[in-house]
Homo-oligomer: A and B are copies of this chain.
Amino acid sequence: MADEESKDWILMVTAKSPTNIAVIKYWGKRDESLILPINDSISVTLDPDHLCTTTTVAVSPSFRSDRMWLNGKEISLAGGRYQNCLREIRSRASCFEDEKKGISIRKEDWENLHLHIASYNNFPTAAGLASSAAGFACLVFALGNLMCVKEDLGAISAIARQGSGSACRSLYGGFVKWNTGYDVSGRDSIAMQLASESHWDDLVIIIAVVSSRQKETSSTAGMRESVETSTLLQYRFKEVVPKRILQMEEAIRNKDFTTFARLTCADSNQFHAVCLDTCPPIFYMNDTSHRIINYMEKWNQLEGTPQVAYTFDAGPNAVLIARNRKTAEALLQRLLFYFPPPGAELTSYVLGDVSILHDAGLQEMKDVEALMPPPELKCQIPFKRHAGDVSYFICTKPGRGPMILNDKNQALLNPNTGIPQ
């Protein structure tokens, strides 16, 4: 370790990680503490420009204990999930040397050096937008970099998995598969990239944030209860999912949107069906979620082939995947017709890649007010519009995996104190 004089150094790394949305769902663990799933799952990584976690990790001989701040508020690191990630990463650390700054950390030093961690989500926590996935992916990715861990991303993903199962899928961009694996140690329960974000770059994703209240049943408790009580889940993971995984891999390989959409919608619905089959039943979708599904189904039916896929995680928010940019414009027009902004302005109602809004001819509120009912509504006119049922929309697309931010201005910890700035 560095000598007494240089005790004040702080070594710091900042990373940014995406969230992801499963299109073949993970629901149910075969090992609770290692977080090993009962079935494979497949996800799309969302563009971190619009939805991401930023995490700064710092190490210093002056730190007295491991500490963490989430969205500016200090939280406990005592939980098993954090401890597992920290232990696994520390055990894989390598030596670090920076002669200019006079820092020298031997492999065995990492066990005794304390960490400060600051993490920030640019979207609501625990509202079904996979904040823990982005969070643990970012934590493990940043720590791996700080501690000079030499293992590949697959092994890193197995560590992130022990923080939050779906976090392992956020270690890659594009289209990602999480293999359930066979080994009881969990070392083959890792994520792998099926295709990068550039493979299928037509897709556009619009998220309808239906509610940002904290959800009632955590996904950890929910999936435990489903494994214990749902008879349908047994059939799902043994008989239904394995076939869907193969079909989904092929659909992604071939950029076959029709199959992709069919499987995505069916698997989302089946996941929520299993939640309902749980005792006591779990409801993540609400009337607004149901309404969005009905509108999308009607549109797809009118067009003959799917224009949009929908999927819902453990919350009421809809993730809508449009076939291409043109379709996304038509989708946004429909969404703003059905769910007009409750206030007088659009800028806080449609977030992310707002160029879609402009290309769809929706510059101002008067453009939204002038929207005509979509043709699939047919005889259901006059139609009741639902202002206020959606909090806001986020326009995004499939995106890249985690990255290190070299710009020191993006660090969340003060470089001199190691405390959030």
Contact = CB atoms under 8 A, between A and B. Distances in A.
A281 interface: yes
A125 interface: no
Contact of A287 (B262, B276, B287): B287
Contact of A273 (B232, B265, B286, B290): B232
A278 B270 CA distance: 8
Interface in A290-326: 290, 293-294, 297, 301
Contacts of A274: 273
A24 to B, nearest CB: 14
Contacts of A231: 235, 239-240, 270
Interface string A338-365: 0000000000000000000000000000
Interface string A262-284: 10011001101110111111010
Given A269-B281, A270-B277, 17 more contacts: A231-B239, A231-B270, A232-B232, A232-B270, A232-B273, A232-B277, A262-B279, A266-B277, A269-B276, A269-B277, A269-B278, A273-B276, A280-B294, A281-B297, A283-B290, A283-B293, A283-B294
Please give me the 9 A-B residue pairs with the lowest Cβ-Cβ distance, nearest first: A273-B273, A280-B297, A235-B235, A273-B277, A273-B276, A283-B290, A269-B281, A287-B287, A232-B232
Interface of A: 216, 231-232, 235-236, 239-240, 262, 265-266, 269-270, 272-274, 276-281, 283, 286-287, 290, 293-294, 297, 301
